[in-house]
Amino acid sequence: MSHEKEFSDERLNAFVDNELGAQEREEILAAAAVDAELGQRLCALRASKELVSHAYGRVPAVRHKPGRRVSLWSGALAASIALVAGVLIGWQGHRASAGGAEPLAWAGSLFAPQPARVLIHLDSSQVDRMEEALDMTEAYLAKAGRAKVELVVNNSGLDLLREETTPHAARIAELARRHELLAFVACGHAIARYRNAGLDVTLVPEARVERTAVEHIVDRVRQGWTYLKI
Amino acid sequence: MKWLQTRAQRELAEKIEGNRGRLYRVAFAWSHDAALADDMAQEALARGLAKIDQLRQAEHLSSWLFSILHRCWIDHLRLRREYLDEEALAELPSELPGPDGHVETQETVSRVRAAIAALPLGQRQVVTLVDLEELTYAEVAGILAIPIGTVMSRLCRARGALRGLLEPVSEQPRLRSVK
């Protein structure tokens, strides 16, 4: 006996997705027990599900280059900023800002005459990500001139601002010397966790501490800052 | 900082941060572009943090973030495509790289990704949310702002298409010979 007509594909999909009630499940299970073709249709649907899940079990890691993210997604970033700040920007504005190929080009123009404000967030001590955070900071400052920029670190990203571990003390000092509107911010929770683990934490002199990085980030985003996670 | 004074809200902000990996994975499944997926996850995270006080029920956090990711994706497509309406966007044929002539030699993951890439956008979104994130039909309907019936029909069409595209992988030839 064939159940081709009786059980639609939608119903069988709902079965393998666990969307049916107990009674409907029973009906399909009972039918599949005596109908090999129905059983095979269910198997094929389950196989499809597993293949899709398997295909994205491991996705490629991405580490963007400085400027890449901002230039690509500038329209949407602007949208979130507009949302938070309550600034009305028409879609024409988005398109104009998204069309520019030059990295970071939007920063000065979109928010002029008010200086742009950008928070860059690092939560890793990986060498390339530390460098990326500083590259991004520097690229932004170079482009946007009077921009306010904060580099906020938490978790193992704290290592960037620890005298004990940072490979970039001289670069941080130089950046801070050249840009008075640049701030380096360390997460108070991260510092406490390090100390609880018996590690010394002496911050570079340019750094200041906020209670937690996440609170600070949320606060800044709500004030209209652009948020970039490294 | 008044609005973030409670411990619950602070934890919520941290949970939003913690969803970055999931957002990235789904964004990658939709776009097959690692840099774009990273941008979309980043943008969804930023929008989520900005709108954190709009989330009333913490248990709906993932669905809420995926719906923001969906808006990011639609915004991105609109920027590129002169304001298509959402229904038209959902039916957009794929522009992603499809299976090539050497498909027989590719590993399973590549084949499946190529098959997903060949699906229209709306089907690609539904099948990845259901199969990758194991979300319910109701959650997917909420995320994509479409009726549950549309979720079911898109899923049905997507799996039908995948079945055809993946036959050598899922050993369909024997099945078909029975018919």
What's the pLDDT score for residue B24?
Answer: 92
pLDDT of residue A144: 66
Nearest to A76 among B25, B75, B131 (CB): B75
Residues of chain B with pLDDT under 70: 1-9, 80-106, 168-179
Higher-pLDDT residue of A145, A25: A25
pLDDT tens digit string along A88-98?
222 223 323 33
**What percent of chain A shows pLDDT beyond 90?**
33
The pLDDT score that the predictor gives to residue B170 is 52
Going by C-alpha positions, the residue among A42, A22, A24 that lies closest to residue A32 is A42
Torsion angle of the four alpha carbons A30, A32, A38, A42, in this order, in degrees rounded to the nearest 10:
100
pLDDT value for B81: 61
Residue A153 has pLDDT above 70, yes or no: yes
Decide if B133 touches A, using CB distance below 8 A: no
**pLDDT exceeds cutoff 70 at A192:** yes
Cβ contacts (< 8 Å) between A61 and chain B: which residues? 34
Question: What's the confidence (pLDDT) of residue A63?
Answer: 54
- Would you tell me how many other CB atoms lie within 10 Å of the CB of residue B91? 13
What pLDDT is recorded for position B177? Answer: 42
User: Whole-model pTM above 0.95?
Assistant: no
Whether residues A52 and B52 touch (CB distance < 8 A) is answered with: no
pLDDT value at residue B75: 82
pLDDT at B35: 82
Nearest CA-CA distance, residue A41 and chain B, Å: 9
Does position A85 have pLDDT exceeding 70, yes or no? Answer: no
Residue B170 is nearest to which of A51, A73, A227, comparing CB atoms?
A51
Which chain A residue's Cα is nearest to B38? A62
| pLDDT value at residue B93 | 62
Facing B42 at nearest CB: one of A17, A69, A79: A69
Of A140, A137, A141, residue with least CA distance to A121: A137
pLDDT mean over A92-119: 39
Share of chain A above pLDDT 70, in %: 73
Quote the pLDDT of residue B144: 94
Decide if B75 touches A, using CB distance below 8 A: yes
pLDDT over threshold 70, residue A101: no
Q: Could you say which of A56, A95, A227 has the minimum Cβ distance to residue B29?
A: A56
Query: CB B156 to CB A10 under 8 A?
Result: yes
Decide if A196 contacts A184 (C-beta within 8 A). no
Residue-level pLDDT at A93: 31
Kindly report whether the peptide bond that precedes residue B168 is cis, defined as omega within 30 degrees of 0.
Answer: no
Whole-number Å distance between alpha carbons of A106 and A140: 11
**Does residue B89 sit at the A interface (CB-CB below 8 Å)?**
no
Q: Is B78 on the interface with A (CB under 8 A)?
A: yes
Number of Cβ atoms within 10 Å of the Cβ of A11 = 16
Interface test with B, best of A2, A50, A51, A226 (most B CBs within 10 A): A51
In three-state form (DSSP H/G/I as H, E/B as E, the rest C), the secondary structure along B6-36 is: CHHHHHHHHHHHHCHHHHHHHHHHHHCCHHH
Report pLDDT for B96: 58
- Closest-CA distance, A180 to chain B, in angstroms, reads 25
Picking from A59, A69, A219, the nearest residue to B39 by CB comes out as A69
pLDDT at A4: 47
Instruction: Inform me whether the pLDDT recorded for A46 exceeds 80.
Output: yes
Q: Are B61 and B70 in contact (CB under 8 A)?
A: no
Whether residue A229 and residue B132 make contact (CB cut-off 8 A), yes or no, is no
* Whole-number pLDDT of residue B169: 54
Confidence of residue A107 (pLDDT cuts 50, 70, 90): very low
Q: Which of residues 142-161 of A touch B (CB under 8 A)?
A: none
Q: Taking CB atoms and an 8 Å cutoff, what residues of chain B touch A157?
A: none
Average pLDDT, chain A: 75
Q: Which of B116, B129, B156 to substitute to test the interface with A, most A CBs within 10 Å?
A: B156
Higher-pLDDT residue of A124, A1: A124
- Contacts for A190 with CB less than 8 Å, ≥ 6 apart: A153, A154, A155, A157, A158, A213
- The predicted structure's pLDDT at residue A91: 27
Considering only CB atoms, B14 lies closest to which of A214, A222, A226, namely A214
Between A80 and B68, the more confident residue is B68
Q: Which two tokens stand for residue A15?
A: 């079965």
